[in-house]
Structure 1
């Protein structure tokens, strides 16, 4: 069951590399944090259950690790660890201020 979950997570990581606008391909661009957590859980479960001495287990664990690093790399710019790109203004005079009200009814 862990190997099947790992293969499905690897597929979910690889599908966005396909140049397609189909929803079933593009949908995997969005749950990156969830995929990363599941990759780590499946990898930890495989480490606990299967011996690493087998080449197939080592190959699957390596692929899961690479996929986890890729997902983390894609998530990194949206975390507090990444530097802020916008300059923060300390004060703004009333003449230059703009207020916007948005409603979703």
Structure 2
């Protein structure tokens, strides 16, 4: 009885783990996991909170791409022209809406 319960919980946990990374956010030709976009948003929000000027709070490729906390998924994007605009677009993606796939840039639900 305990073994079957443990097996069922393990299967459910693994299913949840695999499906949690299924949501992808598309920006141009690049696709990023929802978790990577959340980390990018948290990174830019923490820097924006430290800076008081709204002009300085938008993510630019220069500082975001050099930050060691940036997920490695974004490095190919950082090497492209227009990376600052693409990163700004990703920061603005509403992740709570993305989770239910009602945002056009999100796929994989």
Does the pair score TM above 0.5? no
TM-score by length of 1: 0.31
In our comparison, the structure showing a higher alpha carbon Rg is: 1
